[in-house]
Amino acid sequence: MSKQIRDQIKGNPEIPTKALQSELEQKLELNVSWMKVFRAKKQAEKEIQGDYHQQYALLRDYCEELILQNPSSTVTIDVDRVNNVTETTRMFKRIYVCLGPLKQGFKACLRDLIGLDGAFMKDPFPGQVLTAVGVDPNNGIYPVAYAIVEAENKDSWIWFLECLGLDLDLDIRSNFTFISDRQMGLIQAIAKVFPFAEHRYCLKHIHENMKLHWRGRAYQDILWRCATATTVQQFERHMQEMKSLNADAYNWLAKIPPKHWARSHFS
């Protein structure tokens, strides 16, 4: 039965235990308890994916190999402080990776725009993946760097931005433009690390947040008219359209500083 379960998980890693139980009972023509399938599934996942504790123990070797195979790459591991200085092991906290060829390509392109984003990790060791991407000469997405951190907050974003600044030769006076969806702690982190940089908010995410309360094509159309207006007068006129449509939606949108998302207010 273990072989059948491994094959099923390889083909469909997200298969629910109940569905796996039903398929096994049909193929094997016998009754299998849910708990037995659950335990067998966990064992199969461990065999396929490997043991997480062992993988973290190999992290430093992996980093050294990454640098060896990709010259000029930057790999930074941050660990939790321990009170006992004689302790020979450290607790993993964060890792930052910027591959050398990507770093060199970004500098050669010289487009002063970086998108920042974060995503949850769903493995047994939860955390956040932070990413920085640029725009290539064909206006395509260009990956720059990524990090795995303990949580998405001001402290982890500051650490990530400081690592990124060292790699891309950015200092406190740099006037890059960053674009984000206003992740937790990121607004304060950019203001601290790059106080002279421009910070733009992703309009798609603003619309996604708006849809949680006000749905409909009318809201989307007015929002985009506000964002793409080229003068302050046009912007104000479209904002009044939103106010006429729904005063609550207008008040919600008015709380987001237009200098971060409306073209008419850009520097």
Strand partners, 142: 134
* Residues 72 and 193 occupy one common structural domain: yes
For 2, the token pair is 């273990």
Give pLDDT tens digits for 148-171. Answer: 999 889 999 999 999 999 999 998
Prediction pTM value: 0.78
Angle between helices 154-168 and 100-109 (to 10 degrees): 70
* Residues 67 and 140 occupy one common structural domain: yes
* Residues 190 and 159 occupy one common structural domain: yes
* Residues 68 and 133 occupy one common structural domain: yes
**At which of 183, 201, 219 does a domain end?**
201
pLDDT for 2 equals 65
β 91-98/141-149 pair status: antiparallel
* Residues 35 and 95 occupy one common structural domain: no
- Residue 7 pLDDT level (bands cut at 50, 70, 90): confident
Q: Are 265 and 259 in contact (CB under 8 A)?
A: yes
Parent domain of 158: 55-201
* Residues 70 and 141 occupy one common structural domain: yes
Which of 1-10, 50-59, 117-126 comes out lowest in average pLDDT? 1-10
* Residues 83 and 193 occupy one common structural domain: yes
pLDDT for 43 equals 79
Q: For residues 233 and 265, what is the distance between their CA atoms, to the nearest angstrom?
A: 11
pLDDT for 25 equals 75
pLDDT for 198 equals 93
Alpha carbon of residue 198 to chain centroid: 20
* Residues 222 and 135 occupy one common structural domain: no
For 146, the token pair is 């990524």
* Residues 22 and 115 occupy one common structural domain: no
Domains in the chain, number: 3
Q: For residues 120 and 130, what is the distance between their CA atoms, to the nearest angstrom?
A: 9
* Residues 150 and 197 occupy one common structural domain: yes
* Residues 129 and 243 occupy one common structural domain: no
For 109, the token pair is 């392109």
Work out the average pLDDT over 21-41.
Answer: 79
Q: Are 261 and 203 in contact (CB under 8 A)?
A: yes
3-class DSSP string for the chain: CHHHHHHHHHHCCCCCHHHHHHHHHHHHCCCCCHHHHHHHHHHHHHHHHCCHHHHHHCHHHHHHHHHHHCCCCEEEEEEECCCCCCCCCCEEEEEEEECHHHHHHHHHHCCCEEEEEEEECCCCCCCEEEEEEEECCCCCEEEEEEEEECCCCHHHHHHHHHHHHHHHCCCCCCCCEEEECCCCCHHHHHHHHCCCCEEEECHHHHHHHHHCCCCCHHHHHHHHHHHHCCCHHHHHHHHHHHHHHCHHHHHHHHCCCHHHCCHHHCC
For 39, the token pair is 């335990």
* Residues 68 and 191 occupy one common structural domain: yes
